[in-house]
Every structure is written in structure tokens, then in C-alpha cells.
A and B are shown apart, each in its own frame.
Chain A
Amino acid sequence: MHASYVIRRLLQIIPTFLAVMLVVFLLVRLLPGDPASAILGDRATAEIVERTNRELGLDRPLPIQFGVFVRNLLQGDLGDSISLKIPVLRLIGERLPTTLFLTAYAAVLGVLMAVPLAVLAAVRRNTWVDAVIRAVFQVGLSLPVFYVALQLLSLLGARLGWFPIGGYGEGFGGHLYHLFLPALTLGLNLAAILVRTLRNSIIEVLTAEYVDFARAKGLRSRVIMTRHVLRNALIATVTLLGLNIGALIGGAVITETVFAIPGVGRLMVDAIFGRDYPVIQGLTLTFALIVSLVFLITDLIHARLDPRAELS
């Protein structure tokens, strides 16, 4: 469906991609310190540092370094990790599935929490039920991700021992079990954003005349809520969800560190501390690509939910 639209949108990713490349290339080089010092430590002499930088090609002028970066990238080569000495592409390929799994898991948990609670808050609007739901998520939203992560870890992980406190597990079931706490951490944050918007959209849709018409048709309240109200209320929420997937990946960087999960989030943190330029560049480009694709998918879902929306 809408094949030409999809192709056009994919082509639009290219300029975005170029801009991201340039920005990230310059940003990593603006960081204080350089890869050689990070690898060699404080005791290395200036001479050794200089030689290492020369071996890594970091002594050449920036435009030339950028040219090399772009030329390699066009050949599908993101370079080798400076600290781990293996191709960045392979590194990302190994770690990315974990992070994507975590992100998808968090999104599913977030939606599963948000939709029923938003419906409940909307139906019981301006009662104590609504007030409690909104207050809990308002607090949840204002707490930093790492704090929520640590609290969940100490309560459900360490004290009650219901869930493992780290690692990735084996197989699909193992992943689900091991990643539950980190996914919950991220999911709670997402749910907090979704509940508020979805509750308000549901309340707005409930006053629409087509809801009265549906009631006048003698439909069951459950049918009215799912077919007539939620389908309309979700239209705005889907866009919000798409926009927040990017934030979710950002949140994964922190969460993976707290829960010791071998995903790209951890890889990113390690690469930044080690001034591993190729890894930082490769990961940033990967994130940009994922976010662009998520936006495209969001727009396609939006068009599916809302027949009035024109893809153009």
C-alpha cells in the first residue's frame, strides 16, 4: 500500500542521515580527550600518543577524516572499534537485537498499562480513581529513569527476588523474564506520557455526537468504548507513541547500564568513555535510522487508523 509514498519517505531519510553524520563526526571530536590517551592511559608519553593517533588516522585534517568516513560508509564499512579492534558493524549487529527487544518490550508494557488505565480514568473522570491514576503517573513522570530503575531493582529484584537483577537470559522466554524489570522501568515512563494524552482524547471523543448515535443504536458500552471511542482516541496517541520511541532508545542507554544488559545502550556509554569515535558514530547513525523508520511506520499506522488522513 502507498508504495510511492513509502519510497519517497525512505529517500527523505538520506539528507537527514547526512546531517546526522556531519554533526556526530564533529561532536565526538569536540569532546575533551582523544582515543589514544583513553587507550594508553595517563602515563603515556606525548610521543606514543602522537604515534597512536597517526596510526588511527586522527592526525589528518578534519575534512579529510570526514571524507574517509563517508567513503567507507558508502561501502558499508563503519570502521573498526578502537578499543575492541573489531568491526563496528559486527559489534552493532551483535548488540542491537537486545536493545530493540528491550525497546519493543517496554513499548508493549507501556501500552498495556496505559490503555486500560486511561480508559478507567476517562470513564471515572474527576473522581478519586481518576485523581489517583493521574497523580501516580505524574509522580512517575517526574522521577528520573535511573532512580525508578534502582528502586524496582532493589524491591522486586533484590528484596523479593521475583526477577533477576541483570543479564539478558537465554531464548525468548528467558529474555522476557530477564528484561522484565528494565522494560517495566522504561514502560512506566512511556505509560505516564500516554495515559495523560489518551485519557484526555477519550474524554473528548466521549462527547462526540457519533458516540451518542452509537448509544442510540443500542450498542453495548464495551462495543462503544472499543469500536467507537478508542479507535478515534488512539489516533493522536499513536503519533505520540512514535515520537517517544526515540526517547525510549535514549532511556535504554541508562537502563541497560543499571541492569547490566549487553545492548547498544551499554556499548554507547562504554564508547563515549573510551572515546571510541567509530563506535559512537556508527551507533548514532543507527539510532537516527531507527528513529526515522519508526516515524515512517507511525505515519503509516496513523493513515490506517484515520481514513481521512492523506499520505502526501
Chain B
Amino acid sequence: MTPLLSVRDLNVRIPTPGGILHAVRGVNFDLMPGEVLGLVGESGSGKSVTLRSLIRLHRPPIEMTGTVEYGGQNLLDLSEARLRDVRGGQISMIFQEPMSALNPVLTVGEQIGENLREHKGLRGKAAQDRAAELLDLTGIPSPRARLSDYPHQFSGGMRQRAMIAIALASEPQLLLADEPTTALDVTIQDQILRLLLRLREELHMGVILVTHDLGVVAQTCDRVAVMYGGRLVETAGVNDLFHAPKHAYTLGLMRSLPGAGEHRRPLQPIPGGPPDLRSLPPGCPFAPRCEYVTDACQGMEPPLLEVAPGRFSACIHSDELPALKSTPEEVEV
């Protein structure tokens, strides 16, 4: 099966007053049609920057290099006009904070309508009907009446549903979700994740879900890519990852997660903070915080290598890490 999206050697450089911030450093991954890939990491690991560069959302002076192959073309050097057909048309994106991502002066109906006009050629009554259908699909009660409401008249959860409805208007092949549940309380978060999974089934679209929350990953993802210091440090199927992480950073993330039932144990936070991407030390960027660190970690940055079938890790001590033998189901959301 050919991948829906293929990312190769993606680099993002952000000029700042303190020097160039190399936010994404040589990221590679594939996404299969209909697959849900979780992009996990702490704040500043480059996961949202990676997600935004997939549809070239960064503006100059931010620089994006590498290839993002979709439908036989590299989105990073497509013309603006061609890119616009892909953006919102075949690849849609939803943001973390629907209150700031929805335009406050346009009604929800207008904001769905402009997608339908741009990508589906629908106008007037037909667009209205379709917009109401989409709100209904995302579980918004009395959808037709709510089309003329403004975003501030919606509750937080309803706003996120509305944003999902806007993103789905063009029936995309791929949905990019940037921490879609972070701003919501836990019960609403659960509803939104279930909604995304249901829509994935019904519309058979791929999803890349950026999150810092392994609980969200456990509940939704087929495969996980863990980011640290602007690089992918581990990729694995979600069960494999929870059973036995193959990177010391992933292990640290797991241990800082509250377990459920008999797996209750004291939480172990990872000491220290994320590295400064303007001046990275040589060697593994996680080394200064790592309990498995040896001299070998300090020399050069370990590449992402296949350590087991379908499993990749950039940790030279991947064999020595203990198996946690946990399952995604045990993780509290």
C-alpha cells in the first residue's frame, strides 16, 4: 500500500533575535490512508511546528526544507494556487483553541460556507443544507438554527465541534489536528476524541494528531511518533510503545503518566527542561536529562534506526530499557 503522506528530511528554521531556531531537524515519516498517527512530545519539541509545515502554513522568514509528498507532488514547492486546492480541500487542519481559530465576526454558517464554496463549488441553499448536515455530523443539536450563530455563542466543546465541521466540509483525505482537546475539560475531550475516531471510520481519512498527552494517544492512535528536540526519537505501533518503549525519553514520558488499577505507582517526572534549539550540544539531545546516559551518548546524535520490525528508535540503549508491560487501555484519560 502506498502511503497517503510521505515526509522526508523535513527541516524548519525560525530566525529569532537570539539566532536561528532549528525547530524541526530532519523529520521522516509515512502515513497510511485511514491511519491515525500520534505526534507526541513536550512543549517546544517541534510537534506543532512540524504539523503546520505539512501544509506550508509557516510564513517567511520561517524556512521549510525537505519534501512533504502527497498525491505525487511535493507540497513544499507547489505553487500557491495548487497548494490552495490541497489546503482545506484534501488536507484539513483543526487547531487547539477554537475560540481564537474561529473568526469572531463571521457566523459559523459563513465559516463553513466559504469552505464549501472554495472546494465543493456549493452556494446558497445547497451550501446551507450541507453546512447543517456537517454540524449534525459532528453532533451539534438543532444544527440549522445554529448556522447563524457566532462562535462566541457556542460553548467550548461545541466550538471545537464546529471547527471540526468546517475542516470536514471539503471531505478531506487527511486531517491534521493540533492538540484538538487540550483546551477542553476531560468529559468534552473524551467526546471530541470519540467523534474524531467515528469520523475517521465513516470518512476513511488519515489523521495526524499532535498532543502532549499520552492518554489521548492511548485512546485514539494506531501508531505513535515521539518528538524530542526537533527530531523523531521513536516511532512504534501504539501497543508496542506502551508495552515496551525503546527510547529513554519515551520511557520517561510513560513513567510520568498516572496508571490505573493495579499499576498505580508513584509518578516519576523527567528532571530538567527541554533543550535550547538555538545551541544544541553534540550527541543525544536527551542525554543531559537521561538516567541511562553513558559516554557513548555524548559523541554524535544517534540516528533513528529500526530496532525491531516496524519499530524505530534513536536511543543507543534501546535494548537495555525495561518493558513496562502496560497497555493503552490502562492509561487514564
Contacts and interface: CB of A to CB of B under 8 A. Distances in A.
Interface of A: 208-210, 212-220, 223, 227-228, 231-232, 235, 305-308
B118 interface: yes
A209 B104 contact: no
Interface stretch (B92-100, B260-268, B279-287): B92-100
Given A209-B95, A307-B152, A219 B114 contact: yes
Interface residues of B, number: 31
| B interface secondary structure, majority | mixed
Contacts of B67: none
Contacts of A215: 57, 87
A218 B119 contact: yes
Interface string B79-104: 00001111111001101010011111
Contact of B87 (A210, A218, A228, A231): A218
Given A209-B97, A213-B95, A307-B152, A218 B86 contact: yes
A210 B88 contact: no
B53 interface: no
Given A217-B166, A218-B118, A220-B84, A210 B89 contact: no
A218 B89 contact: yes
B100 A210 contact: yes
Given A218-B89, A220-B84, A210 B102 contact: yes
Given A209-B97, A212-B95, A219 B104 contact: no
A228 B103 contact: yes
Contacts of B106: 227-228, 231
A214 B118 contact: no
Contacts of A307: 104-105, 107, 150, 152
A248 to B, nearest CB: 27
Given A217-B88, A217-B166, A218-B84, A227 B100 contact: no
Contacts of A232: 103-105
A272 to B, nearest CB: 45
B151 to A, nearest CB: 9
Nearest to A208: B100
A309 to B, nearest CB: 10
- Greatest chain A CB density within 10 A among B100, B103, B107 is at B103
A214 B104 contact: no
